[in-house]
Structure 1
Amino acid sequence: MPAGSSRKRERQYEHVKEGAEKRGTSTGRAKEIAARTVNKERARSGEAKWAGKVSTRDPKSAPQRGGERSPSGPQGPTKDQLYEEAKKRNVEGRSSMNKQELREALGR
């Protein structure tokens, strides 16, 4: 966290970092995600010294978007993505499974 950050932003950083780690993200990547999220929120609220156009003009904040821009989307990976992963892991019966069954077979 930058020097002079508020306790609120420090709590937000820890919350985002822990959430990313719970989802299986590496510690380094979790820290990066948390820092970027907090920095964007600081820019949007006028707390940051510098703010990019995207940070200040984006209609929704990161938590409000809820994964809209994520490659896996807000609903997680697609059935095709799950199927490909099941194929790599040689999960038996994968061709007749629906999305939920694929998730369960992969332990998600």
Structure 2
Amino acid sequence: MAWILLVVAGLLETVWALALKESDGFSKLGPTLVFGVAIVASMVLLALALRELPVGTGYAVWTGIGAVGAAIAGMVFLGEAAVLGRILPIALIAVGIVWLALSHE
């Protein structure tokens, strides 16, 4: 169950990162509200997951999911450059996340 909570928390990190960008410095109410709800929910789920997972593993996987998700979402939804020089390191981070999760004891 802790892993499910952690993955959802990481996905919510992606949501709050995108909402933060769209809030335009907190000047747009809708994205600002989405940001607030998503960041609180992400932190709560992370905290619950860390009851059972080591902090190093949990935090690294959480930030990795958020970073990879935000980078991919930026390319897909915000028109950010989708070039090999960006895709390859994002893929390496994703591999690292999976590797770390699989090596958890």
TM-score category (smaller protein): 0.3 to 0.5
TM-score between the two structures when normalised by the length of structure 1: 0.33
TM-score between the two structures when normalised by the length of structure 2: 0.33
Between the two structures, name the one with larger relative contact order (CA 8 Å, sep ≥ 6).
2
Which one has the largest radius of gyration?
1
- Structure in which a larger fraction of residues adopt helix: 2
